[in-house]
Amino acid sequence: MITKRGQLKDHINFVLAVKDRLWPNIKIEEFLVVYVDTRNSPPNFKSKFIDSDMVTNEPIILGFEGTAHTAGIAIVKGKNIIINKSATYLPTQGGIHPREASEFLSKHFPKLLEQIFHELPFDTQRIDAIAFSQGPGLGPCLRITATIARAISLLIKRPLIGVNHCIAHVELGRMVTPAQDPLVLYVSGGNTQLITYLNGRYRILGETLDVAIGNALDSLGRKIGLPHPGGVHIEQKAKSGQQLLHLPYAIKGMSFSFSGVVTAAYKLISEYSVSDICFSFQEYTYAALAEATERALSCTKKSSLLLTGGVAANMRLQEMMQGVASEQSVKFFVVPKDLAGDNGAMIALAGVNMYKANDFIDVKNSQVIPRWRTDQVEVSWIH
C-alpha cells in the first residue's frame, strides 16, 4: 500500500516510464481510459505457438514474477507456456540488496514487456487476466511488480490475480509434471518447505527454522570465496571433494535448520580444502532434507514426491530424493531445470488455475503481502 507521498510519486513515475516505452503515442490523460491498439507494432511469429491452440477454451494469462532477484514475464494458455522471459539480478558483491534488486526490476520489466508484446502471436485483448506475485518476498521488489501488473490490468481492462509465490512453485510442478496430489519439497533461495494439500489449504509439514537452503549455500559460497550464486559453484566444487568432514546434522521432527551448519563449515576453511567443505556441506544438509522428506512421506502416505524450486536443479539433491522415493516406493518428479528457479511462467500457470476458480482481486485490494505464508492461502482451485 502506498503510504508516503514520495512513494506515490515514485509509482507514478514508474507507470509513466512503462507507458512511454510501450505506447509513446498515447496522451497521459488518456492513458488509463483509452483502448490501446498494439497492432501498431506488428507481431513477430518467432515463438512456437500454433494458432490451432487458440481453438481450446483454456484461458490466456499474463504472469509477472518479481519477488526478489528475478524479473520474469510469461504468457501461458492453459498448460502451454507460450512465451517465458526473465532477467536475473546478480549482485556484484555480497547478497541481494533489496533496493538494488528493486531498481533492477524497474529497469528490466519495461524491456521484457516490450519484447513480449513484440513476440506476442495474438492481440493483447485476447489476454484473459493478469497474474502477479503478490508475496512473499522483498517489499520493494513486490511493489514494483504489483505496480506494473496493476497498470497493465487497468490498461487492457482485465482482472488481476494475486498469486502466492511459494504456491506458484507447487502449481508449476503439478502442471508440468504428471504429479497428482504430491508431497512437495520446495527448496529455493528464500524458502525451504515440505508442503502437502489438505482440506482446502496447502499445509506446511516442515520448514526451515532459520535460513533457506539456497540462502545457506549462497552465504557459504560467499564466505569461502566462491562467486554468486553459491549453489551452482558449490555443486561443481563438491564433485572433487574426497574427505567427509564432521558437520552438524540439524533436524527437528520434520523441520530443519541450516545456519549453524554454515558457521561450522566456515570454521573449517583454515584446515581443509574448499572442495572437501563443499562436499561435506552438501552431504549433511541434503541428508537432513532427505530424512525429513522421508518422514513426511511415511506420515502422509502420499503416492508421489515433487521436488521444486531453484535448488531442485542440483543433481546431488535430485539423486538423494530419488533414493527417498524408492525407499518409500512412491513416484518421484522434479520440475525441468529451466523452470526450477523463479520465472514468470509459474505465476501465470498458477494464475490459470485461479482464473478457472474465479479467484480475482480488485486493484484497490491488491496491496503486496511481503510475509504471506503458504498455509494462509485459501486454495479455491482444488476440489
Partner 1 sequence: MIRQKDRIAKGAEAIIYRGSFLQTPIILKHRLPKIYRLPQIDKTIRLQRLRAEARIMVLAWKIGAHVPVLLGIDFANRTLLMEEIQGELLFFIMNTAPLTKMKSIFKDIGQEVGLLHKNDITHGDLTVFNVVINKENKPWLIDFGLGQVSVEREKKADDLLTFYSTLKAISPDFQDLFDLFKHGYFGMYKKGRKTFEHMKKIQSRARYIAREDRLE
Nearest to 150 by CA among 23, 3, 19: 19
Identify the residue among 28, 34, 287, 382 touching partner 1 (CB under 8 A): 287
Closer residue to partner 1, CB minimum distance, 90 or 382: 382
Phi, psi dihedrals of residue 339, rounded to the nearest 5°: -110, 5
Q: Does 207 bind partner 1 (CB under 8 A)?
A: yes
Strands 304-308 and 255-256: unpaired
DSSP assignment, residue 48? S
Number of residues that bind partner 1 (CB under 8 A): 38
Question: What one-character DSSP code corresponds to residue 158?
Answer: -
- DSSP readout, 227-266? PSSHHHHHHHHHTT--PPPP----EETTEE--HHHHHHHH
Cell, residue 173: 510442478
Please, what is the minimum distance in Å from the beta carbon of residue 371 to partner 1?
4
Which one of 12, 37, 56, 249 is in contact with partner 1 (CB under 8 A)? 249
Distance between CA 243 and CA 283 in Å, rounded? 11
Segment interacting with partner 1 (CB under 8 A) among 6-14, 105-113, 323-331, 340-348? 323-331
Q: Which stretch binds partner 1 (CB under 8 A): 34-42, 168-176, 320-328, 355-363?
A: 320-328
Among 20, 123, 319, 338, binds partner 1 (CB under 8 A): 319
Is residue 203 a contact residue for partner 1 (CB under 8 A)? yes
Residue-wise burial string across 52-90, b where 16 or more C-beta atoms lie within 10 A, e elsewhere: eeeeeebbbbbbbbbbbbbbbbbbbbbebbbbbbbbebe
Binding partner 1 by CB under 8 A: which of 171, 294, 342, 359? 294
* CB 98, min distance to partner 1, A: 15
Does residue 218 interact with partner 1 by CB under 8 A? no
The answer to the question of residue 66 lying near partner 1 (CB under 8 A) is: no
Residues near partner 1, by CB under 8 A: 136, 191, 196, 198-199, 203, 205, 207-209, 244, 249, 252-254, 283-284, 287, 290-291, 294-295, 297-299, 319-324, 326-328, 370-373
